[in-house]
């Protein structure tokens, strides 16, 4: 399937406008801290949420608002997570009310999200002024500003838009996300907002999103911490004019593939922009006896702090990979496993049949000196595979998180 990249971010699909600006939640006036996405028409909508029991108030409110499977807008502030506050739900509901009043839509049609410091009361006055200003600033060119406004410790905006065809109609799907630290999904990983102009039922949209999350957002890890506010949401306006998808037909398969492409690319952007990271790590497992085993092993390697530190030091310490494989909670024969490391500079085999093989340390240093490293693992015990993404562990990770709140 061919998917063409297009410009515009979340505004690339028909029927969407966005804006982002500084309202005052964050101290620095140079940093945008509130974003808004508006759909011209009611959208089929779905979301997947963090499984952290200490979830933020916006999660509760968005769950309630999406019970009917429809939405019109997304509002998100950065700098304050609105989590662990006695008045959190009240503030999240108020954000929805303010969007509803400013855009003349039902408050229940708003997806609300917050990201930032946990346990500090969310100031509503700057948000009130910010939402009013956002409503006036909405435009088809506002996707980049919205993507910037949801960033916290991110070093770069994360957005993508693709174009494809369904039954002869041009369709688009796009996403923006934030995520750099406190990322270890047990649903999602961060905040990601997806837009599309495909006509699809809420039931099928929800099914597609949940399926895709399992192989993308759920397969990345930065630091082993599952955030309190993680959410991936999607709105589909239906304005592309395709025949509405109401069954798992050929059009559904194309849409799901486009959604997965967007999700995987966004996930890789998040993994590569981990706090203090210098390298994107991709662990690809093949030959597993089951998909579950493949996923467990891929995630086990990506989550290993010792392995991540070795990648930062450009040290081909493959024993740390084998160790992480070995403690994955799955059944397999360690004596059949092969491991290799590769990058644009080449490929080296480091393990065969569970045992080390000779390799050039000089070549290994060259391979691991690149910005993107692939860890290939072949279990040779089945036909299943999985891929996970992460980043190296650096000195700067501790620096960033040592004084994050203060």
Across the chain, mean pLDDT equals 92
Catalytic one of 62, 189, 293, 394:
189
Q: What's the gap between Cα 228 and its chain centre?
A: 14
Compute CA 252 distance to the chain's CA centroid, rounded to the nearest angstrom. Answer: 22
350 contacts 316 by C-beta, under 8 angstroms: yes
Q: Strand pairing partners for 71?
A: 43
pTM, whole model, 2 decimals? 0.86
At 355, is the secondary structure helix, strand, or coil? strand
The pLDDT value given to residue 375: 98
> So where are the chain's domains?
4-272, 280-402
The reply to whether 155 belongs to the active site is no
Measured distance CA(281)–CA(183) in Å, rounded = 15
Amino acid 223: pLDDT = 53
* Helical ranges in 273-329 per DSSP H: 291-303, 305-312, 318-326
pLDDT beneath 50, residues of the chain = 182-189
CATH code linked to domain 4-272: 3.60.70.12
Domain 280-402 has CATH 3.90.550.10: no
DSSP 104-167: TS-GGGEEEEEEEESSSPPPHHHHHHHHHHHHHH-BTT-HHHHHHHT-SS-SS-EEEEEEEEET
Q: Kindly tell me the burial class for residue 31, based on how many C-beta atoms sit within 10 Å of its own C-beta (0-12, 13-18, 19 or more).
A: middle
Residues 6+ apart with CB under 8 A from 154: 178, 179, 180, 273
Rg of the chain over CA atoms, in angstroms?
22
- Rounded distance between C-alpha atoms, residue 50 and residue 257, angstroms: 23
- Please state, in angstroms and rounded to a whole number, the distance separating the CA atoms of residues 56 and 54: 7
pLDDT on residue 404: 59
User: What's the rounded Cα separation, in Å, for the pair 64 and 364?
Assistant: 52
């Amino acid at each position: 399937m061919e998917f063409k990249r297009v410009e515009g971010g979340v505004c690339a699909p028909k029927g969407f406008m966005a804006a982002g600006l500084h309202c005052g939640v964050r101290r620095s006036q140079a940093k945008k801290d509130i974003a808004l996405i508006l759909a011209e028409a009611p959208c089929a909508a779905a979301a997947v949420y963090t499984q952290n029991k200490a979830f933020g108030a916006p999660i509760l409110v968005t769950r309630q608002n999406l019970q009917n499977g429809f939405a019109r807008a997304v509002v998100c502030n950065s700098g304050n997570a609105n989590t662990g506050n006695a008045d959190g739900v009240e503030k999240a509901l108020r954000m929805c009310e303010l969007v509803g009043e400013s855009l003349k839509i039902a408050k229940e049609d708003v997806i609300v999200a917050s990201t930032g410091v946990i346990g500090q009361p969310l100031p509503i006055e700057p948000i009130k002024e910010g939402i009013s200003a956002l409503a006036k600033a909405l435009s088809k060119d506002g996707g980049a500003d919205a993507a910037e406004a949801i960033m916290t410790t991110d070093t770069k905006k994360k957005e993508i838009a693709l174009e494809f065809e369904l039954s002869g109609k041009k369709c688009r799907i796009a996403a923006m996300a934030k995520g750099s630290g406190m990322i270890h999904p047990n649903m999602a990983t961060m905040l990601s907002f997806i837009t599309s102009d495909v006509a699809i039922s809420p039931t099928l949209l929800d099914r597609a999103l949940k399926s895709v999350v399992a192989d993308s957002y759920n397969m990345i890890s930065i630091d082993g911490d599952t955030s309190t506010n993680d959410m991936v949401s999607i709105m589909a306006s239906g304005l592309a004019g395709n025949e509405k998808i109401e069954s798992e037909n050929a059009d559904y398969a194309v849409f799901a593939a486009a959604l997965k492409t967007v999700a995987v690319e966004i996930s890789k952007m998040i993994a590569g922009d981990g706090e203090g990271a210098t390298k994107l790590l991709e662990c690809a497992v093949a030959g597993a006896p089951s998909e579950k085993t493949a996923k467990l092993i891929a995630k086990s390697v990506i989550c290993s702090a010792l392995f991540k530190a070795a990648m930062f030091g450009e040290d081909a310490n493959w024993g740390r990979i084998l160790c992480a494989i070995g403690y994955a909670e799955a059944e397999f024969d360690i004596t059949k496993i092969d491991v290799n490391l590769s990058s644009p500079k080449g490929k080296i085999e480091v393990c065969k049949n569970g045992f080390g093989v000779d390799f050039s340390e000089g070549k290994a240093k060259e391979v691991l000196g690149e910005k993107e490293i692939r860890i290939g693992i072949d279990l040779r015990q089945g036909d299943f595979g999985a891929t996970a993404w992460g980043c190296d562990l650096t000195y700067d990770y501790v620096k960033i998180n040592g004084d994050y709140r203060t």
